[in-house]
Amino acid sequence: MHVETHGLQTHDAPTLVFSSGLGGVAGFWQSQLAVLSERYRVVLYDQRGTGRSADSLPEGYTLSMMAAELAEALAQQGISRFGVIGHALGGLIGLQLALDYPERVERVAVINGWLTLNAHTRRCFEVRQHLLLNVGVEAFVRAQPLFLYPAEWMAQHEARLEQEDAHHVAHFQGMENLLRRLHALMQADFRSCADRISQPVWVICSKDDLLVPWSCSVQLAAALPDATRAEMPWGGHAMSVTDAAQFNALLVQWLADTDCLLLQPDEVS
């Protein structure tokens, strides 16, 4: 898998792994890279079957497999302990890593994620799947921003969206890969195991998210033993892009609050 590191490069630098949503590529986090690279080793990656991690995904692909692939890729980079900052699917990968590799995962941030799939989110995914199967890749790609961004932001960034549409069509991950990743995402369910995630978890949502109702974050935070919940009033599903300044400020504060909790006893002065 394609993995890239930025920021601090010492072996003992606090490490943050950024995991994207269904798009799967590292480029989603450009608005966070400069800010976080000042204090952390920042790891970006293209998920298997997307971007520069081209591959054919197996039948029966699961969230646990996504977590295992990332854990192995990080181990190959010599990264043994890390926090995960994940958007939607990426946040659920972070939770799965916390369950499967508790000795390696220090903390998790879940951006517009969920405990179990909401009926509204399921409807949105089914509409997108219908577009892909019955209309085509271009229709699927052009509809995607409707679920990500607020209407007024889209109207003000039409030229950017046109460029992104062309790029996503040209670099589409493949229908079979996308459907298998989407199925894995829709099957993810933490209701029976959330109470075993002992790491600090930051659960943040946007109140105007069209794809994932903000109440999903409330439900997720309530099920976790050590959750801190935050809300942004505006920004849509991808508020880390549309209101990066506000999102980054909130993320940096949570990271600062949890940095001291991650120090080993002999590291505390």
Question: What is the C-alpha separation between 32 and 51, in angstroms, rounded?
Answer: 19
pLDDT of residue 44: 98
| Partners of 4 in beta bridges | 44
The pLDDT tens digits along the chain (269 residues) read: 999 999 999 888 999 999 999 999 999 999 999 999 999 999 999 999 999 999 999 999 999 999 999 999 999 999 999 999 999 999 999 999 999 999 999 999 999 999 999 999 999 999 999 999 999 999 999 999 999 999 999 999 999 999 999 999 999 999 999 999 999 999 999 999 999 999 999 999 999 999 999 999 999 999 999 999 999 999 999 999 999 999 999 999 999 999 988 865 444 33
Q: Which of 199, 218, 197, 194 is nearest to 258 (CA)?
A: 199
* Res 261: pLDDT: 82
Pairing of strands 201-206, 227-232: parallel
Q: Which of 144, 180, 174 is nearest to 63 (CA)?
A: 180
Helix (H) or strand (E) holding 110: strand 105-111
* CATH code of the domain covering residue 214: 3.40.50.1820
Q: Give this prediction's pTM.
A: 0.97
How far, in Å, CA of 41 to CA of 33, rounded? 10
Q: What is the pLDDT of residue 51?
A: 97
The pLDDT assigned to 268 comes to 39
Tokens of residue 188, six digits: 């993810």
Number of structural domains the chain divides into: 1
**C-alpha gyration radius of the chain:** 18
Domain hosting residue 20, numbered range: 3-267
**Positive or negative torsion for Cα 220, 235, 178, 23:** negative
Name the pairing type of β-strands 82-87 and 227-232: unpaired
Nearby residues of 53 by Cβ (< 8 Å), 6 or more positions away: 1, 2, 24, 45, 46, 47
Q: How far apart are CA 48 and CA 111, in angstroms?
A: 21
